[in-house]
Structure 1
């Protein structure tokens, strides 16, 4: 039993001590029943996923437990282990872990990386044997691996278990295989082998090769994976569990409400069927006593007013999939968009030629904005809103089940909030009121405005239903959803069912990640669905926003991120002030003539529409792209965010320019380096070090110790308590009893509303203390549930870094952890010279240069796809070429060592500090300053001042070669 499984048993033990009213039991395929036991128990409802400690603690503190078919409590984040499971199918899960497999076969992969601690040996078709550190293969048609110790498969579309020891997987993002005996590869476009000094060999379209001495294999973008002879198979992450028949899920928040109601109390409910409801299904509802309601035109959903007893009867119907309450949904080209390179799309000559001489602006694509509404009368939306709809749910009269009655052609549906108009302006505004300064990402696209008013669930579903019905009429290819809900992920949630249907019908769905902050597992539950594109927020310099919701460490996260702070877009009407405007930002960023038309705002709500607009550009460039292909390109083209983790920033910063280029030109494929990111000897492990459930009295503190080990990268303390009047705070003290973290937000009633969390980044080892207390010492006795999580980076054997200073050691480990640098044959080689190609690769993998690939090779000695991607990305940066002494059309000299002078110029430009280099003199303490060309004194001075490079004794040594530990320190400084 895993540590987290033990923790969940402990928490459920504490749960049993609670006193709650009545009890409900929700059993998959059997429906909902009233029990004599306290609490709410979910049994084998495996569509529900509790993501992260926050969500789980909210469950137990509200009297909810989740168990498997044997009654064993599970958290949902540990996964479901399957053994001897003939014919069991899971679709759209996040991943699979397989141990002790005899063999692995992979088809249709984008890239394969093979590595070995003591070197790997490749036998070419002509029987030549090459010994290298690792091998990179591009687009192999088939890969076979024998006698593996372990297999991890991530981002899958579907999993089919074939008997007790086999599994087939389709549509994976990545495959990692460890402890293999041998690898056979066929049909690759190209194979490259790398040693300590760089490229050792390159084979173009070899007929087939075999590799031995292999420790690990990493595969990206595989179409299919087949595993045989496995000892165990574990599935983790959100799953879409296809039903067929039988009840699958009850909204947990709704379950809390039902548990408090008498049998004859009326309540609004959303009933989802497995298929579109037939006349027989409607007759069954009427026989139960639910005579009328709203039946959507495409979605398999009806909305009714019914009693608790009637809904319990409905849950017994085999055609019913889930029952949900009518919850309230939350809300979660400007120069600040520069990090996404959107400004480079329209003037790009290759795209203009490809697009029949017309700049790519999103023309021909409609983006549906499901939000508070849209003011189509705003000058910047003139002619942009193809239809503006007021969504109305009239709750059909008794005796009938009629569809919703949306009101079309409403000029202004955004009379109160302005949120939806702001979103629409980010996507398609024409910038008329600012002389084009603040136009949208895809100003050639059209907007379908869908006003959900107060954003309750029934109106949101009515919006999805409208799009499904009218998508062809208005050519809707994207839906922007800048809203979230305070609940957990459930595959049977009607919103997730609707977004899956939209995706299956060729419509990309974009969700904001949410604004719940940086705790573990705060991601918008609708953003968890693997078929949607979810977007977190950064500031204009690509640093993560404090408010942007995160996924569960090592499990889930947003798809990508985009700027979401102090964003400028449309003010719905001149009288709307203080609703969206960031204090001070309106007058700071806008002049008097612009203020009546524009305002500023923060939130992932305004990161998401940038991605929706980017998708519109991609679809104009290539209208045949499917939602899955769109998401794949967005992820591969994204700029890595090396200062954060994947559960925070996903694949990285939106690269609108790169994504649009690849959409138009399939051969300009980005992200090939992602296939080698798994080769470093580092693993991140998150454990729950303690869990508790105790009574807290006013005036007292509930204190738990936190043991922080070496190599800890994060520690988080979470507490949660049931809905009531008490407001609690949380603080963490370091080993010297100093306050290092505190959280005391005003809590509001919601399923997951009563909670506090404190996070520490890179804490020093030692014994810390976490204390919970009543705010102001005021309140009543309160049962509190909590857990403490610690994440640490576990580094394998890196043999030659033991003598480095502590600062150098931190820099090296940081570079290995974020994949900007790699080990070679178990060594880091800190004193080895850095080649110009390695330097370029590190900047791209570290996220300091957006990915770019030209139509033709720009340098005569850089011709392979992987090398071109690194070199052409750093040489086409918006601040100018990084490598000062390389000119397009000539040689780049990729194998030569990069000098400290050329590196300093590049690092300053990568840091965005070029404008600080003018008029600066080198200090006299740089003894060899006169050996540095005068025009670069400013670059060297800034590099020294910012800690990007240090002197070597009294000299800078401009012509000396940069070494690997100096590069690691420079990359660390760039991330600060």
Structure 2
């Protein structure tokens, strides 16, 4: 015995791809089980040789292949060192506990890089970090379905549910898959509170890419609520819109915070509920003095840290630091968010980082973050660079059943306009609305602005990142 002590942990080491994996086929009756999936995913010429399978039988050999590459890079590593290396280079998986996913999603490139260079990976892995703020919460889920038909009354396309007193947050989500589950369906999910207040998911211009619609409400009113499915309104000749009939399935999550610490200064703040839920999911953290400072401006170095914590950002450590104005404690986070292919959803590893350098190749870690910059970071983290850069035309936002033009578009940097449009359409960031009516106007006029240069506070960020998490990352 070498005297080494071990601590039992009831969790996996890392998580690897294990769903719908294409692999070499053997002659087996079991291949008949996946024949339909094989035909849909594999070109006919290769069907005799390849199959599609799911499970640990697919994930395990992938990790074994990574281990082989790691040992080729450094044959002197022991089994224990290889295990540690895989965990230290993993990507955080927000919404999951260590007993579900271990240290996170395995990263082959980073693992081999660490085997070669022994760079200090692991500083950003949530599993290894001690957080200042902590929240305890309970979440229950209620599934529902709406047999949506655009030719009937809106009231027929609704589901009623009850919200109990004292809930911290309410998150409703539906999937509108469209014809044969392939096209997406341009519908809008609207939650109606007992007092008539409406909370809308908006209608995404990306409905063929993102089928889900999500609405998040902090501190929801107790009582009877409705979840309505509404179609995209057409012109006056087609007022019922262009959505197609579909049984729309969804779920409602009710969350209640039962206790928290390290958030001494948020009670009574408008963003308090969002801050608590963001801390609960490890999307943000407070300060060592026990405060969160919700009204303090969000610094770029903090945005970098929070994106790596909770927005699926891969680790990346170059041979030497890219920026000279970043402190040692922030380097790992800053290098990760600025690296090419930073976003986990960038499957080809070709897109720009989720944060960009400032002037003269500096990072400016203590500078504030504007709303336009935050739109870039959150949309880029979703792997939507191509869609953002391809955007042309007017910037608009959904307001009820209308699209309203963003009036301060001239102050939005041209290279960020597409990101702002997607952030609005995906309901990550909101526009600001104002209503004016002249003395003799028969109807009021609704105005919409984005305020792209407005600095983001730490409370603002908690609200935005919680919406982002609820819509795209929650399991």
Question: TM-score if structure 2 supplies the norm length?
Answer: 0.63
Distance in structure 2 (CA, Å) of the matches to 1:859 and 1:875: 10
Q: 1:968 to 1:625 in 2, by over 3 A?
A: same
Instruction: After TM superposition, give the deviation of residue 672 of structure 1 in Å.
Output: 4.9
Kept after mapping to 1: 8 A contact 2:299/2:368: yes
- Structure 1 equivalent of residue 152 of structure 2: none
Kept after mapping to 2: 8 A contact 1:835/1:895: yes
Distance in structure 1 (CA, Å) of the matches to 2:37 and 2:273: 37
1:843 aligns with 2:310: no
Q: 1:902 to 1:873 in 2, by over 3 A?
A: same
- Structure 1 equivalent of residue 375 of structure 2: 904
- Structure 2 equivalent of residue 678 of structure 1: 131
What is the correspondence of 1:36-51 to structure 2 with a 5 Å cutoff? none
Distance in structure 2 (CA, Å) of the matches to 1:966 and 1:863: 25
- Structure 2 equivalent of residue 796 of structure 1: 261
1:875 aligns with 2:347: no
What is the correspondence of 1:280-291 to structure 2 with a 5 Å cutoff? none
Instruction: After TM superposition, give the deviation of residue 932 of structure 1 in Å.
Output: 1.1
Distance in structure 1 (CA, Å) of the matches to 2:117 and 2:102: 24
Kept after mapping to 1: 8 A contact 2:313/2:337: yes
Name the structure, 1 or 2, with higher relative contact order (CA <8 Å, separation 6+). 2
Q: Deviations over 1:256-313 (max 9, x none)?
A: xxxxxxxxxxxxxxxxxxxxxxxxxxxxxxxxxxxxxxxxxxxxxxxxxxxxxxxxxx
- Structure 1 equivalent of residue 149 of structure 2: none
1:945 aligns with 2:440: no
Kept after mapping to 2: 8 A contact 1:708/1:764: no
User: Matched residue of 1:561: which SS?
Assistant: coil
Q: 1:650 to 1:593 in 2, by over 3 A?
A: same
- Structure 2 equivalent of residue 614 of structure 1: 66
Kept after mapping to 2: 8 A contact 1:861/1:894: yes
Distance in structure 1 (CA, Å) of the matches to 2:274 and 2:36: 38
Which segments of 5 or more consecutive residues in structure 1 lack a partner in the other structure? 1-90, 93-156, 159-170, 173-237, 239-529, 531-555, 687-706, 714-734, 738-759, 766-791
Q: 1:660 to 1:826 in 2, by over 3 A?
A: same
- Structure 1 equivalent of residue 284 of structure 2: 821
What is the correspondence of 1:922-933 to structure 2 with a 5 Å cutoff? 922-923=395-396, 924-933=404-413
Distance in structure 1 (CA, Å) of the matches to 2:69 and 2:258: 39
Instruction: After TM superposition, give the deviation of residue 904 of structure 1 in Å.
Output: 1.0
- Structure 1 equivalent of residue 117 of structure 2: 665
Name the Cα RMSD after superposition. 3.4
Distance in structure 2 (CA, Å) of the matches to 1:642 and 1:940: 24
Distance in structure 2 (CA, Å) of the matches to 1:708 and 1:647: 31
Q: Deviations over 1:22-60 (max 9, x none)?
A: xxxxxxxxxxxxxxxxxxxxxxxxxxxxxxxxxxxxxxx
Q: 1:793 to 1:611 in 2, by over 3 A?
A: farther
Distance in structure 2 (CA, Å) of the matches to 1:601 and 1:794: 42
Kept after mapping to 1: 8 A contact 2:325/2:363: yes
Distance in structure 1 (CA, Å) of the matches to 2:261 and 2:167: 14
Kept after mapping to 1: 8 A contact 2:262/2:290: yes
1:974 aligns with 2:454: no
Q: Deviations over 1:383-407 (max 9, x none)?
A: xxxxxxxxxxxxxxxxxxxxxxxxx
Instruction: After TM superposition, give the deviation of residue 712 of structure 1 in Å.
Output: 10
Distance in structure 2 (CA, Å) of the matches to 1:973 and 1:623: 45
- Structure 2 equivalent of residue 812 of structure 1: 275
What is the correspondence of 1:709-728 to structure 2 with a 5 Å cutoff? none
- Structure 2 equivalent of residue 436 of structure 1: none
Distance in structure 2 (CA, Å) of the matches to 1:646 and 1:668: 21
User: Matched residue of 2:461: which SS?
Assistant: helix
Kept after mapping to 2: 8 A contact 1:911/1:974: no
Q: 1:576 to 1:682 in 2, by over 3 A?
A: closer
1:593 aligns with 2:87: no
Kept after mapping to 2: 8 A contact 1:574/1:597: no
- Structure 1 equivalent of residue 230 of structure 2: none
Instruction: After TM superposition, give the deviation of residue 764 of structure 1 in Å.
Output: 5.3
Kept after mapping to 1: 8 A contact 2:375/2:423: yes
Kept after mapping to 2: 8 A contact 1:574/1:596: no
User: Matched residue of 1:794: which SS?
Assistant: strand
Instruction: After TM superposition, give the deviation of residue 849 of structure 1 in Å.
Output: 0.9
Instruction: After TM superposition, give the deviation of residue 576 of structure 1 in Å.
Output: 6.6
Q: 1:794 to 1:625 in 2, by over 3 A?
A: farther
Q: 1:797 to 1:664 in 2, by over 3 A?
A: closer
Q: Deviations over 1:215-248 (max 9, x none)?
A: xxxxxxxxxxxxxxxxxxxxxxx5xxxxxxxxxx
Distance in structure 1 (CA, Å) of the matches to 2:98 and 2:312: 17
Kept after mapping to 2: 8 A contact 1:567/1:600: yes
User: Matched residue of 1:624: which SS?
Assistant: coil
Higher percent of residues as strand: 1
1:857 aligns with 2:329: no
Kept after mapping to 1: 8 A contact 2:119/2:317: no
Which segments of 5 or more consecutive residues in structure 2 lack a partner in the other structure? 140-163, 171-221, 225-250, 343-348, 397-403, 434-447
Distance in structure 2 (CA, Å) of the matches to 1:710 and 1:575: 51
Instruction: After TM superposition, give the deviation of residue 814 of structure 1 in Å.
Output: 2.5
- Structure 1 equivalent of residue 243 of structure 2: none
- Structure 1 equivalent of residue 356 of structure 2: 884
Instruction: After TM superposition, give the deviation of residue 949 of structure 1 in Å.
Output: 1.5
1:964 aligns with 2:469: no
Match among 544, 563, 577 for residue 17 of structure 2:
563
Instruction: After TM superposition, give the deviation of residue 839 of structure 1 in Å.
Output: 0.6
User: Matched residue of 1:960: which SS?
Assistant: coil
Kept after mapping to 2: 8 A contact 1:637/1:655: yes
1:624 aligns with 2:76: yes
Q: 1:811 to 1:656 in 2, by over 3 A?
A: farther
Higher percent of residues as helix: 2
Q: 1:930 to 1:736 in 2, by over 3 A?
A: closer
Question: TM-score if structure 1 supplies the norm length?
Answer: 0.32
Kept after mapping to 1: 8 A contact 2:16/2:106: yes
- Structure 2 equivalent of residue 919 of structure 1: 391
Distance in structure 2 (CA, Å) of the matches to 1:736 and 1:863: 50
1:635 aligns with 2:83: no
Instruction: After TM superposition, give the deviation of residue 709 of structure 1 in Å.
Output: 8.6
Instruction: After TM superposition, give the deviation of residue 673 of structure 1 in Å.
Output: 5.8
Distance in structure 1 (CA, Å) of the matches to 2:132 and 2:416: 37
Instruction: After TM superposition, give the deviation of residue 897 of structure 1 in Å.
Output: 0.8
Q: 1:605 to 1:813 in 2, by over 3 A?
A: farther
Q: Deviations over 1:703-754 (max 9, x none)?
A: xxxx9996799xxxxxxxxxxxxxxxxxxxxx999xxxxxxxxxxxxxxxxx
Instruction: After TM superposition, give the deviation of residue 653 of structure 1 in Å.
Output: 0.9
Distance in structure 1 (CA, Å) of the matches to 2:430 and 2:133: 27
Distance in structure 1 (CA, Å) of the matches to 2:89 and 2:258: 27
- Structure 2 equivalent of residue 603 of structure 1: 55
Q: 1:631 to 1:939 in 2, by over 3 A?
A: same
Q: 1:685 to 1:941 in 2, by over 3 A?
A: closer
Q: Deviations over 1:95-123 (max 9, x none)?
A: xxxxxxxxxxxxxxxxxxxxxxxxxxxxx
Instruction: After TM superposition, give the deviation of residue 960 of structure 1 in Å.
Output: 1.7
Kept after mapping to 1: 8 A contact 2:428/2:464: yes
Kept after mapping to 2: 8 A contact 1:710/1:764: yes
Q: Deviations over 1:398-423 (max 9, x none)?
A: xxxxxxxxxxxxxxxxxxxxxxxxxx
Instruction: After TM superposition, give the deviation of residue 597 of structure 1 in Å.
Output: 1.2
